[in-house]
Amino acid sequence: MIKQAIIPLAGLGTRLLPLTSVFPKELLPINGKPGIEYILDECIDSGIKEVVFIISKKKQLIRKYFTSDKFFKKIIKKKKDKRLIYEYKKLKKYRKMIKFVYQNKPMGTGDAVLKTKKYIRNSHFLMILPDDLIIKKNCSKNMINIYKKNKCSVMASMKVKKNTVNRWGIYSLKKKINKNNFFIKDVIEKPEIKNAPSNLAIIGRYILPKKIFIKLKNQKKGKGGEIHITDAIKRLIHEGELFIGHNFRGKYLDCGTMNGYIKSSLEISKL
């Protein structure tokens, strides 16, 4: 059963400067709602019961957003505003699910995942990268269904333009399962265009096995001096661990870049 999700939130958000100089990117509004709430709603709708947030001291505002009551209580007492009561209840519901761990040095997604080790109970868990919004279809839910059928790891995949492969983790395919799913032969983090085995990119939805922690403990730094989850996944695949790539349906919105961030509000407002 996949009941736990982890969400790395300690990134610096430099691609969204100046918006992120004092404010965490995950709290920035997308069509009137903080980006992170879209991710939490996707989790809840997928049957996730517990979410581990990996934050940093610099991003304490995220913790505060979900845990501080005082302001809400004061205003609600005075105004009894229906909308506010609804929003406050929603926050309390989120809060019940969330645990916080800290990654104070941004050393990469792999390092962030390792920080959650003591909380993970079942054999597999979900990881969502909050920059990657997927709308219209619940990608996590579909991946959990694939996991239920196949009892193996699953990662989201999307075809990208060939000249952008060096911005993504890229898959090498072993075998097609059906139209939307394939067995993964290998993964490579942000390859040069000439070395890319395909133009199928890793998108930020992963169902990972607990044994990834063993690999992460001694994972060496990779591209850009960071510890990448992709490199640990690569080692597991090479040892025979089964990973399925899932070409998700739904629309991908890249909220980690300024253009993508602006576009995402427009797209969501059309829903």
Please state the three-class secondary structure of 34-84 as a single string: EHHHHHHHHHHHCCCCEEEEEECHHHHHHHHHHHCCHHHHHHHHHHCCHHH
- Ranked by CB distance to ligand G1P, the top (closest) residue is 169
Q: Burial level of 82, CB count in 10 A (0-12/13-18/19+)?
A: exposed
Asked if 201 interacts with ligand G1P (CB under 6 A), we say yes
Query: What is the contact mask toward ligand G1P in residues 141 to 180, using x (rule: CB under 6 A)?
Result: ---------------------------xx-----------
Residue 72 vs 213, nearer CB to ligand G1P: 213
Query: Which of the stretches 50-58, 70-78, 138-146, 196-204 binds ligand G1P when contact is defined by CB under 6 A?
Result: 196-204
Query: What is the contact mask toward ligand G1P in residues 99 to 118, using x (rule: CB under 6 A)?
Result: ----------x---------
Among 26, 42, 189, 231, binds ligand G1P (CB under 6 A): 189
- Give the CA-trace dihedral at 30, 34, 38, 39, to 10 degrees: 120
Q: In this structure, which amino acid lies at residue 189?
A: E
Rounded-to-integer distance, Cα 170 and Cα 262, Å:
26
The number of residues making up the chain comes to 271
Residue 26 vs 132, nearer CB to ligand G1P: 132
Q: Could you tell me how many residues of this chain bind ligand G1P (CB under 6 A)? A: 14
Which residue is it, tokens 């993508």? Answer: 260
Number of neighbours of residue 121 by Cβ within 10 angstroms:
11
Q: Which of residues 33-92 bind ligand G1P (CB under 6 A)?
A: none
Q: Which of residues 208-237 bind ligand G1P (CB under 6 A)?
A: 228, 230
Asked if 204 interacts with ligand G1P (CB under 6 A), we say yes
**Which DSSP letter does residue 263 get?**
H
Asked if 203 interacts with ligand G1P (CB under 6 A), we say yes
Return residues touching ligand G1P (CB under 6 A).
109, 129, 131-132, 168-169, 189, 201-204, 228, 230, 256
